[in-house]
Every structure is written in C-alpha cells, then in structure tokens.
C-alpha cells in the first residue's frame, strides 16, 4: 500500500538531548539511575535499560551514584532529596519545561496565583507544580468551580497540549471573577508543528497511524487530533502491534509519530506497511 509520512514527526530537540545525555552518562559513569522513565517510549527505555540505566520510581531505591533527571523534570523536593543522598545529578529536563517551571515561580513572586492547564497526573505537570507555591492544575471547567479565582491569575499550559485546548480553557477562565489575568504561552512549538503536520496529512489518507508510547502526552494528543479529522486513526507503539486486518481495502496510509518516537520505529513501521 502507499504510505505517506508526516512532514514533521518523531524526536524533538528535548528528547534527543535527554537520550544523548543518558548515553554519554552511561558511557562514563558506573551506577546510573533515572527517576521514572527518561522519556515516554518503551522501545527507547528498553535499549537504555539494556545499556545499564536503572529506572526507579522511588528515590529511596537510589544508592550512591548518578541520577539522571528525565526530560519531564523533577520537583524541587525530589532534587533536594536526591542531593541529600550524596548522588550526583545530571539534569536532562527539556529546556522548554524548565522555562515553564521558572515562569510559575516568577508569577508567584509577582503575586499571581498560577493556573496550570494540563493533566495533573503527567510527570511534567507534577514537576512544575513542585516548583511553585501557589498553583492549581486545571483540566476542565469543573476544576475551575472548585477553586477561588478572585485574585490576580497567571495562566500557563503543559507544553504538549494543543493550542485549541489552551484557548478553550482561557475562555473558561476569562468568564470567571478575577482582578487581573496574565496569560503566558508555554506551549511547545515542536509539538505544534507535529500536530499541524499530522492533521494536514490525516485528511488525505484512508487510514492514519500515530506511533508512540501509550503514556506519551504529545503522542496521545496527536492521535486525538487526527481522530477528530479522520475516524480511521490508530495509536500504536510499533510495527508488532499492527493488525493487518485494519488496512484491508485501504489504499493510502498516513504515518506520524510523537516527539519521543525514534526514527527506527517509524522506518520499520513504514517498511512493514509498504509490504502489505
């Protein structure tokens, strides 16, 4: 079958940097830990684990050694806890995520209550919350009803959300009581480019595949957006998950991938599809 690949897809700068740091650290250090998964992609994490990276969920499982901070960042308390264990820290937090952590702190220092639009269970969001003193995560209108908004509000967004969703939430917030509203666009441009390119492509194909980790927020958002424009959209991790029945009767397939999906996963998938 004919396969078209989105113009912009796959690894972003932040993810590339985190993987390079992990590989360099593994080559030069003895005991290397990562708090959580360095990026949200099981194929990449498996390779790094095979090369010696120890992914732990709990800081108490870290003995002496070196700790990589994943691309999504870590809270201030987690960083202090790691330091108190005498471990060396190598920070692979994406620069754009660090910027959002700094913006949240600055807004608090200027007297704004921070409203962070995003998914409260996502590690990036949890880390940003951990750097601010007066901050609430909002995912929908229901969350807004639960908090008092009668003060100066500073609104920011999880980097990987879509511009449309951020705009909807701003509209909701703006309809409530507040004394001042400051909005800072903290969306990642890399994510936006992937979203625009995927939406463009999915409109012109019979079936659309979005490749990437099931936990990856930016991949899930890509799949959600594609589904809105092409019902026949599937979020898969790699070629092994492709059910050939899905493509029966289809002539053109589109492929895109989240910012944490490596090229070799995309290439293998495209080759597999082309053979059908």
Secondary structure of residue 56 in the 3-state scheme: strand
Q: Smaller CB distance to ligand SF4: residue 187 or 236?
A: 187
Q: Smaller CB distance to ligand SF4: residue 114 or 153?
A: 114
- Minimum CB distance to ligand SF4, residue 5 (Å): 19
CB 8 within 8 A of CB 261: no
Q: Smaller CB distance to ligand SF4: residue 12 or 153?
A: 12
- Buried b / exposed e along 115-145 (16+ C-beta atoms within 10 A): bbbbbeebbbbbbbbbbbeebbbbbeeebbe
For helices 13-28 and 95-109, what crossing angle results, to 10°? 110
Secondary structure of residue 123 in the 3-state scheme: helix
Q: Which of 124, 190, 268, 271 is catalytic?
A: 124
Q: Which residues bind ligand SF4 (CB under 6 A)?
A: 12-15, 71, 94, 96-97, 159-160, 188, 190-191, 218, 259
Q: Smaller CB distance to ligand SF4: residue 13 or 151?
A: 13
Instruction: Return the closest-CA partner of residue 32 out of 2, 56, 8.
Output: 56
- Minimum CB distance to ligand SF4, residue 188 (Å): 3
- Minimum CB distance to ligand SF4, residue 230 (Å): 23
- Minimum CB distance to ligand SF4, residue 222 (Å): 11
| 231 CB neighbour count, 10 Å cutoff | 10
30 noted as active-site residue: no
Active site residues: 124
């Amino acid at each position: 079958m004919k396969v078209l690949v989105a113009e912009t897809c796959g690894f972003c700068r932040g993810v590339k940097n985190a993987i390079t740091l992990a590989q360099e650290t593994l080559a030069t250090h003895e005991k290397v830990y990562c708090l959580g998964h360095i990026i949200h992609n099981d194929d990449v994490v498996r390779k790094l684990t095979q090369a010696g990276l120890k992914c732990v969920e709990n800081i108490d499982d870290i003995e002496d050694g070196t700790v990589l901070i994943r691309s999504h960042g870590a809270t201030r308390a987690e960083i202090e806890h790691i330091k108190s264990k005498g471990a060396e820290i190598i920070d692979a937090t994406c620069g754009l995520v660090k910027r959002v952590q700094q913006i949240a702190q600055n807004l608090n220092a200027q007297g704004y209550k921070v409203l962070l639009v995003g998914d409260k269970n996502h590690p990036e969001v949890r880390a940003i919350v951990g750097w601010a003193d007066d901050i609430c995560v909002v995912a929908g209108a229901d969350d807004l009803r639960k908090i008092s908004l009668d003060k100066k509000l500073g609104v920011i967004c999880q980097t990987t959300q879509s511009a449309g969703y951020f705009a909807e939430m701003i509209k909701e917030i703006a309809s409530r009581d507040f004394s001042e509203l400051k909005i800072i666009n903290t969306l990642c441009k890399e994510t936006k480019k992937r979203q625009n390119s995927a939406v463009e492509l999915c409109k012109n194909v019979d079936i659309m595949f979005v490749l990437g980790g099931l936990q990856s927020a930016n991949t899930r958002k890509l799949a959600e957006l594609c589904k809105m424009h092409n019902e026949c959209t599937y979020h898969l991790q790699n070629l092994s998950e492709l059910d050939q029945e899905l493509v029966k009767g289809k002539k053109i397939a589109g492929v895109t991938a989240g910012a944490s999906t490596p090229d070799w996963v995309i290439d293998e998938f495209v080759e597999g599809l082309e053979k059908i």
